[in-house]
Structure 1
C-alpha cells in the first residue's frame, strides 16, 4: 500500500503554514524571560523534567497532542540557546525594498550582501527590529522572520504579523502592538531608505522543520496503526528474525530500491552485518545503493 503523494503534499503545505504561524508569532524576549524562570526553578531544586509520554495512543489527534508541544519546546530551545563563540552576533541594517502577502503571511524582501560577515541561508530565523538593540532597553517594534530565499542582493522573508497564536491553536490569534507596528513600517509607502530594519540571525529551522512535517504526516502512512499501538507482533526469541506488518512491508517494497530492501531484511534478520552506502549519479539525479555484507564471529 503506497502513500498518496497528493494527500502527502497537501499535508506538508498545511503543516508548513501551521509551523510558521506558531513560531513566527512568538515574542523573542518573552522566550528569554520564560527560559530564565525555568532555569531559576531548576537551580532552586524545582522539578522541571518533561512528563513521560505514553506508549500507545487512541488516534492521530492523541498522538499529535502529545508530541507536537514537545517539538515546539525543542524549537524554543534552539531559539534561546547561547550562540557559538565564532558566530557573529552584530545587528545588520537592511532596507525593505518590496513586499507582498500570501496565505496570511507578509512576504518582504530586504537588502542583503554576499560579503556580509554572517552567512544567511534558507530556513534561517531572523529577529527584525526597527531599533538597534543596545543594553537592556527593549525595542517596541520587532518580530521574527523566516528566510524563504536568498538572492544576490535580497533576502525574501516570511513573517506572520497578525498576532501570537494562543496554545498552538492557529484559529485563536492574539494581536499585539509590536507586530502591528512592524507591519505598518514594512507596508508603508515610504522610500526604502526610510524603511530601515535591523536584523539578527537566531538559528536555523531546516532540520527540525523536517521533523515537524514527518510528525504531522503520520496520519497519511498506511502503517499508522502500528505507530499508535507501538506493538511488535510475533517478535520471537533473540535468534529469530523480526517480523513487520504487511502494510509496512508493502510500503517498504513500494518505496525502496532492491538494495535498500535487502538492507532492511538484513536488519530484521538479527544477524550481524556491515552496511555500505554507495553514492552514484547515473543520468539525472543522485542515487544511493546499500550493500549488506555478513560478518562472521
Structure 2
C-alpha cells in the first residue's frame, strides 16, 4: 500500500539528495514518511531526511556517531561519505542499514545507556554537541496548538516558565553525554541478540538522569511499563532515578513535553484531541494521582 505522503515530490527530493551524495535512488523504498522521512536504498543504505530547520541537529548526529564508531560503541553507523547533504531546504543523513532486527526492551536499553553515560567526551565532540535544552520547541507548540483554550494555554506557558527556571538553577558542571531520546524504540536488537542505539538527533551534554527519567515516566505517569520491567531496567543500569532529589523536576518536564506533543498531534489528527485534553486535565489535577494511563500517540 502506498503511504499517503509517498508523493512524487518526496521521491524527487530523495533523488536530489542522493544525487548530491553521489548515490542512486533507483529502487528506493519508503520505510517511514513523516516529519523525518526514512528511505531504504538498494545498496543497503538508509537515508534520513530531517524536517526543515534541522541542519545543525543533523550535523551533530553525524559528529557523535562517527566518534562512537571509532570507539566501536554499539550504535547505528553513518555512511563514510561527506555529509550531511542539503537540498531544497532539507537535510539528509546516510546510514549503514542494520540487519533484520526488532525493538529492544528496557533490559536492552539500560546497559547501552550505562556505557554511553560513562564515556569521557573529547573537547572537539563536546563543542559540537552543546548542552541539552529540554524546553526546545515547547513554547512554539503551546502557542500553535489550535485545540488549546486560553486558560489551558496560559497554564502550560506558566508551567513551562516555572520548570525552565528550576532547570536553569541546577548545577550543570557535571553534565555528561546523554542520548536525549532514550526509549526502547530507539534500540534495535538482531536475532543474535546484538543491541544497538539509534537516533542521535537530540544527543548532547546533560544530566544522565534526563535519559533515565524517560523510562521512569513510562511507569510512574503513563502506566504502560510494568514494575517488573522497570526493576529490570534499574538493575541493568545500576540506579533508580526516582530516588534522586531532582527526579520530580525531570518528571514534570517530561510530562509537559508529552502534553504539548499530544496537542501537536491533535492539530493533525482529530482522533487525538480527547487524549490531548485528558493529558491536560491530568496536569490540572482533575484525574487523580499518577499513573494516568496516557495512550501512546504518533
Give your verdict on TM over 0.5: no
Greater strand share, structure number: 1
* Structure whose CA Rg is larger: 1
Greater helix share, structure number: 2
TM-score (norm 1): 0.22
